Structure 1
């Protein structure tokens, strides 16, 4: 009897095994290979596209030192004076990085500058607090700065008497953080925006750079201490780096605005009562406040009101740029920045009325703590050494220029 066995047909797509090894069907293997090749090609294409983009193929221009280009860090660059300084630097073809925590500055000022200078590698804004050493060190490690212009400070006399510790910390500690970062990252030029308030109420006028510093309030005290403390700090820096150059500019009462109407003074509403007299005059002229309050009419001056030296912001930032150009390694320069002419508060009010065309009500009140009777500058040193002198010395005209910006910006920059 014949025995027939049933044989199973071979399935061509089923893998066979031999000795524990699997063999993949050639058809399936070729399909898998095509998928791998396609995926590899896709990844390679993505890499090529990414590498071709400017942001990948080359590092940020702010992170590199470039021959012929000076990269300046402007602290407090969103504020009134700092934004005007940034504008001037950008106009003069400097590369600018602004660092500001916007506690006093305006994001709108940054937007104006960005719109004016949109080119890649010209301007960048970094939101940060100088009181945070880690944040400051990170900024310095990621950017190749050639110089620092330091404007970041709180500077209202009235407010300083209400919150002195805040002022002391802001003006002293934050500056030390910047100095330490500069030393650690070999940034060798500092242009420091100081104040005539360090002199207090001198016995002899006009004020020279050698006038004794006798402060009357915490703002002046901390700013007076800073140059003294800097002698020790800078000696340490010089020990580490003999090329350090420092220029300290002690400016007087700032007024005015960008002549082309792009930037202006826009104090925060909650700080109006502590702000500059120019801002108070404009608020009264616009009806934001009910008239103008003038504090102090019994000083030993010609008309009983304080005497001040009013410096236009355009002149002030010009002095800072000249100081930057003249800064010398291993030297510390100290300069007064003013017009050399004193004008009374009553004169200022009358000039403001003429500039605005508004006959505002004026209320005269008792003195404000921390104010002093008379101060104006002797500018012979800055003229001699930096070839700088004030050009915008017509008080009424400076106020008229600033008033034009105020009328066109009823809500300041329109943003916080």
Structure 2
């Protein structure tokens, strides 16, 4: 028999029903109870999330603090050919490194190689950003505590600069200005600036010394000189330590085969002669194009000072160690010996073992006949001397990497 009478032992608030001796909770009341349980669970989860995100409970990133005995270096363009080799050297020397690169010329694969070599927390971080974006540059400096900047990031092909000069003035000059402004704003005390012998133009007298008059003849050299002028003017009223390294034609790769030069295919026409030689040796191109055979040189081709990338990054580390507050150091980085393009091609043929087909073409706009350095000053003041001066051996090392990396790093340089 159904009994719907409420008993005295059942409080009014429970609003239960008795059916055949069994009690049932009112469905409306059950819904309120379940809702409260879910609400309590949601509030608990929210509290946990807020606690985890609380700055007071989370340790700061090692890149966002200054630690005694640890030098944190920002390497702009650190995914590029020279920048990646410099990063490798810095990490080997126990520096903390942040790479900033927009990957327009660099390789994400190079960054991944470095991350695999140095996976320990607080050693290396990569930030994808464009140094032409003022807000991005400011944010990078705001969120990280840098002790020094090695500024490599730049487009760097003479031929391309004559075709698209505005790109070069913006990328080199304007971007350097933004980096310098943020360094000043956030108290970063040391700048190692990657400059070039192209700022000298075509001097009447060889070899080039640091006080040789700068008369650049192409937009690349002009943009680099403008950036140097900005740095000079700023330094007059600053205690920042500045080192400007004007280096010559870079070749070679990491002797242990971890990194190499992987130029973008669409830029082969403007790239370094070493890359062009290797492309011809591998059959990627039908042959090597040598531009200009009527220069006033012994064999009619341009003469250059070829500096191995391993020596070059060694100069950067020595410059970082020797930089002094309130002073600007200027150094040529080269071997002190000029080699003609024909000599270079012959060395490349021997290094690769391939009889590369050579096409001789008219001069390239913006080129100069003869450029090589006098490295006496950097030897005297920074105790630096080029060690890898055998042209053929440097090319052999680079060729070994090229053969084992037929598709470069095998990773698209984009995110």
Question: Under a length normalisation based on structure 1, what TM-score does the superposition of the two structures give?
Answer: 0.89
Structure 1 pair 385–46 and aligned structure 2 pair: CA distance change class (3 A): same
Counterpart residue number, 1:165: 166
Residue pairs, 1:4-153, within 5 angstroms: 10=8, 12-15=10-13, 46=48, 50=52, 57-153=58-154
Structure 1 pair 234–410 and aligned structure 2 pair: CA distance change class (3 A): same
1:265 aligns with 2:261: yes
Whether contact under 8 Å (2:98, 2:125) holds in the other structure is: yes
Counterpart residue number, 2:185: 184
CA distance in 1, matches of 2:112, 2:228: 34
CA distance in 2, matches of 1:235, 1:10: 94
Counterpart residue number, 1:216: 217
CA distance in 2, matches of 1:408, 1:393: 24
Counterpart residue number, 1:22: none
Alpha-carbon shift at residue 107 of structure 1 (Å): 0.4
**CA deviations over 1:113-168 (Å, ceiling 9, x no partner):** 00100101100000000000100100001001000000000010110011000001
Residue pairs, 1:311-326, within 5 angstroms: 311-326=307-322
CA distance in 2, matches of 1:222, 1:39: 61
CA distance in 1, matches of 2:203, 2:42: 78
Counterpart residue number, 1:346: 342
Alpha-carbon shift at residue 223 of structure 1 (Å): 1.4
Alpha-carbon shift at residue 14 of structure 1 (Å): 2.0
1:301 aligns with 2:316: no
**CA deviations over 1:251-276 (Å, ceiling 9, x no partner):** 00000000000000000000000000
CA distance in 2, matches of 1:374, 1:37: 78
**CA deviations over 1:6-47 (Å, ceiling 9, x no partner):** x9855733249xxxxxxxxxxx9xx99x96998599659957
Whether contact under 8 Å (2:111, 2:126) holds in the other structure is: yes
Structure 1 pair 48–234 and aligned structure 2 pair: CA distance change class (3 A): closer
CA distance in 2, matches of 1:8, 1:260: 88
**How many corresponding residue pairs?**
391
**CA deviations over 1:212-258 (Å, ceiling 9, x no partner):** 0011111111112222233323335x1xxx3x100000000000000
Structure 1 pair 47–206 and aligned structure 2 pair: CA distance change class (3 A): same
CA RMSD of aligned residues (A): 2.6
Counterpart residue number, 1:154: 155
SS of residue matched to 2:373: coil
SS of residue matched to 1:171: helix
Counterpart residue number, 1:24: none
**CA deviations over 1:168-221 (Å, ceiling 9, x no partner):** 111100000000000000001000000000001100100000000011111111
CA distance in 2, matches of 1:8, 1:304: 114
1:249 aligns with 2:245: yes
> Unmatched 5+ residue regions in structure 2?
15-29
Alpha-carbon shift at residue 51 of structure 1 (Å): 8.4
Counterpart residue number, 2:361: 365
Structure 1 pair 8–378 and aligned structure 2 pair: CA distance change class (3 A): closer
Counterpart residue number, 1:21: none
CA distance in 2, matches of 1:352, 1:14: 98
CA distance in 1, matches of 2:81, 2:88: 11
Structure 1 pair 223–43 and aligned structure 2 pair: CA distance change class (3 A): closer
CA distance in 2, matches of 1:328, 1:174: 24
CA distance in 1, matches of 2:57, 2:407: 40
**CA deviations over 1:301-354 (Å, ceiling 9, x no partner):** 010100000000000000000000000001000000000000000000000000
Structure 1 pair 78–10 and aligned structure 2 pair: CA distance change class (3 A): same
CA distance in 2, matches of 1:81, 1:202: 26
SS of residue matched to 2:372: coil
Question: Under a length normalisation based on structure 2, what TM-score does the superposition of the two structures give?
Answer: 0.89
Counterpart residue number, 1:412: 408
CA distance in 2, matches of 1:234, 1:291: 47
CA distance in 2, matches of 1:398, 1:61: 37
Alpha-carbon shift at residue 49 of structure 1 (Å): 9.5
CA distance in 1, matches of 2:87, 2:228: 25
SS of residue matched to 2:385: coil
Counterpart residue number, 2:234: 233
